[in-house]
Structure 1
């Protein structure tokens, strides 16, 4: 297993994040969501202009705490996550994805732990996530991490 470092995203990471998230979305939701819904998710969440703007404003927009990336020692990005605190005490995990060929290496857990630490530092005591589908393939992982709920909305105390 190659070593992985979790760090704040830099502007130069935007293209790699876009590709990684697009690949993760297509791999995770093809067969669960319609092709058009998958395309819409990729278009919304993987837009290079959106990612460039979001990477450029960590801490600069109300509630937004920025993007984190997991990088192998080779320089390849194998995971990305983003979060924020939109209301006092309420943290949100906006995105969490790992490269399909890097799954089951604890990368998602490392990213989630770092986002959670940042949320706590900004006063969050609960963390939520909204999923694209009630049959989301991330449900077993999120449940192991203490998230609970039904349908597409999960929360946990942190």
Structure 2
């Protein structure tokens, strides 16, 4: 198991987060969603100006708790997550991505745990995530961590 340190993202992490998210989306959904939907996901979710702005929101914004990054022993970013508490009591995981070479080594679990702790600190009693597909490749990860379907593409778990 790879040990990952999780910290709040800094401005200098924006490019790495953008690339990591884009690689994760392409790696997970190419051949499943089709070229145009994958391009749309990448262009909306991985836009560098958007990620930079989200990292630099002073003190956060209502409902936004920011980006987290996981780093390996050498300090390289190997995963990223973003979340918030947009509705009182309901945490929302907006993004969770792990570099391909670091998957199945505890990085995603470390990021989810850190995001969950932040959400609990802001009063979340439940956590939710939306997925692009009913048969999303990440379903086993979320199932194993106690998420259950609210709809075919929306999962939830109590905290």
Short-chain TM bin: over 0.9
CA distance in 1 between partners of 2:40 and 2:79 (Å):
21
CA distance in 1 between partners of 2:41 and 2:58 (Å):
22
Instruction: Tell me if structure 2 keeps the 8 A contact 1:93–1:128.
Output: yes
Deviation of 1:2 (Å): 5.1
Task: State the match for 2:158 in structure 1.
Answer: 157
Instruction: Tell me if structure 1 keeps the 8 A contact 2:4–2:72.
Output: yes
Q: Say how many residue pairs are matched.
A: 158
Task: State the match for 2:75 in structure 1.
Answer: 75
Question: When the two structures are superposed, what TM-score results if normalisation uses the length of structure 1?
Answer: 0.96
1:25-57 residue CA offsets vs partner (Å, 9 max, x unmatched): 100011110110001111111100000000001
Give the alignment's Cα RMSD to 1 decimal: 1.1
Task: State the match for 2:7 in structure 1.
Answer: 7
Question: When the two structures are superposed, what TM-score results if normalisation uses the length of structure 2?
Answer: 0.96
In structure 2, list runs of 5 or more residues that go unmatched.
Answer: none
Other structure's SS at 2:26 match: helix
Other structure's SS at 2:60 match: coil
Q: Flag the 1:40–1:63 CA change in 2: closer, same or farther, 3 A.
A: same
Task: State the match for 1:143 in structure 2.
Answer: 143
In structure 1, list runs of 5 or more residues that go unmatched.
Answer: none
